[in-house]
Amino acid sequence: MFDSYIGIDYSGQGSPTKQYPEIQVFEAQAGVYPSRRQEKWSRRQVYDFLAERLEQQQNGLAGRMIVGVDHGFSFPESYLLRHDLSSWDHFLGHFDGIWGYAKNRELFTAESRRSFSYPDQNELRLTEKFTSSAKSVFNFQGITVAFSTHTGIPWLYELRKHFSDVLHFWPFDGLIPSDGKSVIAEVYPSLFYHRYSYPPDLEKRDARDAYAIALWLQEQAVNEKLDVYLSLPTLKPNEIQIARNEGWILGIL
């Protein structure tokens, strides 16, 4: 189904151009276990890596990939309604207007953290309510997905602007992608982390998470189960519509 299966463990800390060991990228291909692309990454490098692959795909020099990224892609429905955001594209433009500077400089300084305030910092999207441990994208207490979400979405916006002809953002662009497009989806590696054993050199959780994402995507494709997860068969029509705006964690049914 896909030529490459890529798992990305993300981090919102520090500068967008500084490399961090907490940011990990693993890639698997048919019949081959995931391998580490490099020891550590910056957020800018992750974007450049994906953009290069997508540009190659546009030029017929690379096949399709499916990418799992462990941060939120959107906000709860109440936020979208409050700001009159009728689609994900409207949300991306709105978000980039507020937080887009995260592509160029550090977002979370000691001073800027004080400005991150939402009415309910524990509010969950529908997909997070379907898990036992996922945290709100508004929750900045401790090391949480909120940081990586706020620094990651602006890069999704850039990919959206430049590569929409070959890139399907799931589930915002629909549930089942066309045969010619790569896919980027939100994942939560804790869902399948304990399913796998890991190479002895992968001692840290960040690397194991990225490895697990890539392996799970490959495994589902090989077993012809990936379309089941993509199609969200257990959701009601109104829940699917919510997912098309709020996003959904691939792997949750």
Let me know if residue 239 belongs to a domain: yes
Tell me the pairing of strands 182-186 and 65-69.
Answer: parallel
User: Can you spell out the DSSP letters for 106-144?
Assistant: -S--TTGGGG---S-TT---HHHHTSSSPPPTT--SSS-
Over residues 129-141, the pLDDT tens digits come to 999 888 999 988 8
Q: What percentage of the chain's residues is helix, strand, coil (to nearest 5)?
A: 40, 15, 45
- Helix or strand (DSSP H, E) at 16: none
Structural domain contains residue 136: yes
Q: Provide the pLDDT for residue 115.
A: 59
In a domain, 252, yes or no: no
Name the pLDDT band for 120 (thresholds 50, 70, 90).
confident
Q: Which domain holds residue 78?
A: 4-246
Q: What pLDDT shows up at residue 114?
A: 56
Q: Is residue 202 part of a domain?
A: yes
Total number of domains constituting the chain: 1
Q: At 118, is the pLDDT very low, low, confident or very high (cuts 50, 70, 90)?
A: confident
pLDDT in tens, 70-81: 999 999 999 999
pTM beyond 0.85: the answer is yes
**Residue 203 forms part of a structural domain:** yes
In a domain, 134, yes or no: yes
